[in-house]
Amino acid sequence: MSESRVKIRAAGVSKTYISPGGESVLAIDGVDLEVRENEFLSIVGPSGCGKSTFLYLVAGVLEVTGGELVKDGAAIRGPGPDRGLVFQHFALFPWRTVMGNVCYGLEEQGLPRPERTGRARELIQRVGLKGFENVYPNQLSGGMKQRVALARTLAYDPEVLLMDEPFGALDAQTRLLMQEELLELWSERKKTVIFITHDVREAVYLSDRVAVMTARPGRIKRIVETRAPGSSAGREHVETQEFVEKVNEIWSLVRDEVVIS
């Protein structure tokens, strides 16, 4: 892995929010992290430690207030379709159908209509929602909504996939299914993924590496390699002794922080 390129590099990144009342909140303080190209990296940590904040900084929808945040060697300035963002609560446009949502990014790229519907249709089918093209989001279950959100993001083919607790609002079964589907999608089309979760098992199952954050103001406390280089992702290894040990190791790191916060 050492020879693979660094896709995203954070050096001493910090973010201070100014709330409407005027007081400032230091959400993250000095985050150092390197994410390699086509790596699947998860971030875990106590809630409120600044995981989402970090992700939004990478997405460019928030601005850093300190440190350096770089993608492909250039500082990140503002949002762009090279970094797709998937939210816990889906953030689908409720006034657009499934098709309309998946097409949105392609419309903005100026793709002609036949091409974008073709591509959208393909993706909708790929995430298992064939037949739901003309349905509005409020009629879909949580799992279906997140599939649409995933399809919408994959449609414009970002290099980096940023996911903020994407399966956090789903029931346990749907969650397992979605994890497998995500891994499949990820192995089909290689992407750099930063995945936030509060579920340590999920993190270990999905990721190449797991970064553990400290309580707020968040920093990276430790990074744990969870998948041997070259080994394939899959459901099989969740039974193994090694998997269980990794989960326990990371969980104890997180627990210490939860106790602090």
d(CA 208, CA 191): 13
Subset of 88-117 contacting ligand ADP (CB under 6 A): none
The binder of another protein chosen from 54, 156, 167, 186 (CB under 8 A): 156
Partner from ligand ADP, Mg ion, another protein, none binding residue 145, C-beta < 5-8 Å depending on class = none
Tokens of 255: 């627990």
- How far apart are CB 254 and ligand ADP at their closest, in Å? 12
25 binds ligand ADP (CB under 6 A): yes
Residue 237 DSSP class: G
The binder of ligand ADP chosen from 1, 4, 11, 47 (CB under 6 A): 47
128-147 burial string, b = 16+ CB within 10 Å, else e? Answer: ebeebbeebbeebebbbbbb
48 binds ligand ADP (CB under 6 A): yes
Stretch that binds Mg ion, among 11-19, 49-57, 216-224, 231-239 (CB under 5 A): 49-57
Partner from another protein, Mg ion, ligand ADP, none binding residue 125, C-beta < 5-8 Å depending on class = none
- How far apart are CB 76 and ligand ADP at their closest, in Å? 17
Q: How far is CA 49 from CA 37, 65, 159, 164, 254, in A?
A: 25, 16, 26, 13, 11
d(CA 236, CA 205): 10
At residue 10, φ and ψ (nearest 5 deg) are -110, 130
Subset of 50-79 contacting Mg ion (CB under 5 A): 52
Nearer to ligand ADP, 104 or 195 (CB): 195
Tokens of 141: 């279950």
Subset of 205-244 contacting ligand ADP (CB under 6 A): 216
At residue 101, φ and ψ (nearest 5 deg) are -65, -45
Instruction: Work out the angle between the directed axes of helices 113-126 and 142-155 (0-180°, nearest 10).
Output: 140
The count of residues interacting with ligand ADP (CB under 6 A) is 12
61 binds ligand ADP (CB under 6 A): no
Partner from another protein, ligand ADP, Mg ion, none binding residue 192, C-beta < 5-8 Å depending on class = none
Compute the chain's Rg from CA coordinates: 18
Give me the residues that bind another protein (CB under 8 A), please.
Answer: 56, 59-61, 78-81, 83-85, 87, 89, 91, 93-97, 104-105, 108-109, 134-139, 152, 156
